Structure 1
Amino acid sequence: MPLRLDVKRKLSVRSDRVKCVDIHPNEPWILATLFNGHVHIYNYETQQLIKTFEVCDVPVRAGKFVVRKNWAITASDDMFVRIYNYNTLERLHQFEAHNDYIRSIIIHPTQSYILTSSDDMTIKLWDWDAKWALKQTFEGHIHYVMQIAINPKDNNTFASASLDRTVKIWQLGSNQANFTLEGHDKGVNCVDYYSGGDKPYLVSGADDRRVKIWDYQNKTCVQTLEGHSQNIACVAFHPELPIILSGSEDGTVKLWHSNTYRLESTLNYGLERCWTIACLKGSNNVALGYDEGTMMIKLGREEPAMSMDASTGKIVWAKHCEIQQVNLKQLSSDQQLRDGEKVPLNIKDLGSCEIYPQTLSHSPNGRFVVVCGDGEYIIYTAITLRNKSYGNAMEFVWSEDSSEYAVRDGNMIKVFKNFKEKKTFKPDAGAEGIFGGNLLGVRSYSGLTFYDWETLSLIRRIEILPKLIYWSQNSELVCIATEESYYILRYNPQTVAAASTNKDLKSEDGIEDAFNALSEISEIVKTGVWVGDCFIYTNSLNRINYYVGGEIVTISHLDRVMYLLGYVSNENRLYFGDKDMSIVSFELSLSVLEYQTAVMRKDFETADQVLPTISKEQRTRVAHFLEKQGYRQQALAVTLDDEHKFDLALQLGNLQVCYEIAIKLENDQKWLQLSDVATKQGEFSLVEECLTHAQAFGSLILLASASSNKQLMSNIGEQSRKIGQFNIAFLSNFVLGKLDQCLDILIENQRLPEAAFFARTYLPSQINHVVGLWREKLKQMNMERAAHALANPTDYENLFPGLIDTYKTEEFLKQNTKVQSARNYQTLPPNWESNPITEMKQAEDHGQFSYISKQLNKEITNDNDDDDDDDDDEIFDDTTTNSLIGNKLITSVNADQSCSRSPTNSSAVSFHKPTTISSIIRDLSVKSTASSIISTATTVGSASQASLSDFDKELQEFDFDLGKDDIDDTENDPLVSKQLFKQTVDENEDLRFDDDNVDEFLHKT
């Protein structure tokens, strides 16, 4: 019977004539060398051209990947071999290898050698580790050497095909051929070795349109294959399938059975002549090169013919036609299996199979093994591999009962019981596939149909095209896997039994309530198995997952494609196999699966009995499952993970558990989460503690304000300042009215401009200090001009009208302002309705407020005293400097003339050059001695009566000194100084006194 292999096209790209193709063993890449001198690298998964480079302007007839060096080696008609890094496309080396066109390159699998063959009738061996030195030349052919191939079973021997109609076998180290195979009538174009260990064969193709299979040990031709109508350009033994491929100039690729030598299939993709074929060990992919492009096809299925009986721990697989078995129970008890590591096994040969196995599966009870392939099936006994039954079949499936099975032969389905045919039927919509299990499933072009095994009556039609179907052990659940997702359904046998007696429950689509859909998961299932109510599977991303109760749990990640064989409950391990028949295992606790199954069935009594058997490492996984099912309280009691326990307690509103875990974890995020829940429950003391632990001072400000907690607000200011959260510290101090602290924070952060404006607005007594700091900072930044441009309000009171009122208002507010509770917000007038300066004046007029002037530093650099107190806290005495007195006198006049009392309103004041104004003010101070004394006496005397002797003493102690800078300024520009002085004096005529006026005034006093 034929193999009936499915052939799928994976890549089809058009290009110039392709002379050679190669497949990368690790990446999804195809290397194609072209007749136009270019090389292309395609990704056959994405269908994209990912790399291309120009080698020369003549045909490139050969190209190979060297994966261990990241190289692509090419040979072309200019007689050069070139080596490229296929990642960077950099040409690493080139050398002239032959005297004529180079036809073929082969890479030694273990040594640093390459072999090249040429139209100069020679074969040469090159060593890249010896700087591409020529190690050996093989001569003996009398015509072009078209292709060479290394024997995979003996890397020291290779074969060559020549147009002299011969195939020669060579050995490294010998210049003469071992022997010559003759039989072709015309030139031989291609040759390849059989990679299996059971046959010493090689295949050749020639211009006589024949393919010959040779036994190189007996040196005889085993078989000649005929069928092509033109020259044969390429041949290959497939490394995984019993297939011989031949490509011809007639545009076809023929697939021949390597055991029966029957023609299985002929492929013609309309790309003209086929020149090259490449296969890859461990893969079913085949690359083809044509006149008009490159093709990649996939033959058959890559899943190995392998099966496991979970009850006995025996694994059976087919390697080509050989059946082998391993027994997991023979593993030594002291041998520890690790997840993902290869399991050391003793392989036992059971014998050979008469057909090529494409699928292999155990019966449900493990007594029989069925092999299906070549359009036939054979049932063997599992222990001795004795033939029990056979027949024609494209597919074979077991029922839940091991004595019952079904086969599909075309569109016909045959059901057998006890190895005897029971019934045959043909579905109305045809049959494209069948599935075993509790019900017989048939896939057609329109969907899936379930039939009863006994009566073959219709159970249900479902509009879905399944790829795989898995039934649970109790037949209550079924997984239907498609090309894009899988569905979990619950089977209702009671409804089906009721429908057998009540015809009204049936329709043309079967019994509507036979299945209930539970879940649809957008994952591609590769292989799977049920354990209880848990469905374990591998997906397209090579992950091991299991589904239970709507939850997907990832067990592990695989580093390559693996196929799930089964689960051994006694060992709590899952077993997997790959295409190389390597077995690996992963641990999965049975007690966890049993617990989850009991919960899904709402059998909590059984679940409580199973729970103590679950290890501590698995408790958190179980808790996550319980949470997913809605059992949060039980999950809280089961979990051992503090993070998970905190989340559960938070959802349940259990503040005590949350608090204990938060103290243990010391995680700011946990404190914030707990504060949110505590706020909803009104536990504000807990909220305060949580926010304090989390240092969430922004939220604490809101809490302190809302709860009128002055002490908390003060603490916030102190703590936030310590950890550098100055915005919070500023705000909390500002709310409490601690303006000095606010100013200190601005100065501490070098926010001197903001500090100056803050002082001007709220703390006028600190203006000198801040402006001095600002000036010094600008000078340090080499901004002398900007520093001199700053006007200190105390030095230039004429530029700042109402400055004295702001001093008074500052003191007034300190005496009369107190911190108000947030609950009084509704009863207090808004700030924009009050005028502090007006209120101060009213209080002063009514005798409710008296102002004692304080000495202000002109600049921070003038603070030369040795006391610890700031100068801005010192009281003015009778020896107040004349410069300051002059400033006050001018300011008082300007304040009276100003149309506004606002400290910031200076629009009516003209700005004068600082040095000139300073000179004028000092000049004015000299000429206004009496007035200055009277002003000072009046200010100080508001609190105590000043005596005449005090004024006499003041007159005697006054010492007027005109600064040198002022004299220099006046001398440099006397006209300007005179004009400005005259203007200032004219504006303040009421301040002019002479000595006679003073004497008269004092005498009267």
Structure 2
Amino acid sequence: MTFFAICKDDITPLASNNKTCVQTLEGHAQNVSCVSFHPELPIIITGSEDGTVRIWHSSTYRLESTLNYGMERVWCVCGLRGSNNVALGYDEGSIIVKLGREEPAMSMDANGKIIWAKHSEVQQANLKAMGETEIKDGERLPLAVKDMGSCEIYPQTIQHNPNGSKCQFGLAQECLHNAQDYGGLLLLATSSGNTTMVNKLAEGADRDGKNNVAFLSYFLLGKLDTCLELLISTGRLPEAAFLARTYLPSQVSRVVKLWKENLSKINQKAADSLADPTEYENLFPGLREAFVGEQFLKQQGNVLRPASEYRHVTPNEERNVLAEAQGFVPSETAEEEEKERDVTPPPTAPEPIVPFSVPAPSPAPVEPVAKTTEEKAFLDLEEDLDNMDLEDIDTTDINLDDELSD
């Protein structure tokens, strides 16, 4: 992409590409008379009638420096290719200034390894790779240059250790902790395989409101229920529904209900269009198999293995949980058993239930049985007396005088 700069009778020069304005450079007090891209350095130089020359970073468009030599208005700016010299033309004369330094920041060790900074890019080369060829004085060395990446700042000095680097993870952890760099702490904890650190980081990030880091930490620890509750508590109900559909199918109905309740406050029609997978299984094929897979993984348990066993563990992307769960019969939970007991009708003739671990009761003694017989006879007598009609008794055969004389 080609960029060009525009100056006009205004205090704001423009950095633009072929179609649109990319950036407006604000800072001059009077009209801008000249602007130039430096041929070597990544800077933009602007001159104005206010007598100042401003230097801007061509990538970030940040003001780097302001030059004012008191020579009235600036009319022209020019840079020389292959050099850091810049010529400035004023009302009262011209001046040449050098920006930065000609020699780059560099470092060389006893083994012939050279590291230097070319603007913001860091490069390296090795003199030992040249062999025993003879080089004349002043001749350019045929080095194989290797790029090491770019730096966010312009390096002024560079030093490197030829013996390698010394790892101080404890110091790095302390620095990241003081800077509250949760992303760096997560990278350090996962790279070192420190489960305790990941767990503490998850709790700290959750407490401080760093929800993304907390979710990722809990997810790496296999705490899917905590991840789901974190999404629900932060109002990310659509994400919670997709997480439940993928990893916790038994929680889909609850999450979808919460999602519909929350969405109904904004758009009732959209809320009504959400289908509960447990009620519309025809719209969600494989849901029953997902239930079995969830129970299968739960019974296997969340085993945290050391990082050294990664070679013996099948990656998740290569596993087929449904194929592994074939033939698996999930055990009924207490909730399902209670639901079945509520649905089953009560028996017509209840019988005493004997616990499985308690032996059957011994035969009843004789006395309670006899007592029960007497009670039964007494009840029969009472029933006969209640049914007796005294008016129907025939008294003709009874002689009261004979009975009294006896």
Q: Of the two structures, which has the highest relative contact order with CA contacts closer than 8 Å and spacing of 6 or more?
A: 2
TM-score range, shorter chain: 0.3 to 0.5
Structure 1 length normalisation: TM-score? 0.19
Structure 2 length normalisation: TM-score? 0.44
Q: Greater Rg, structure 1 or structure 2?
A: 1
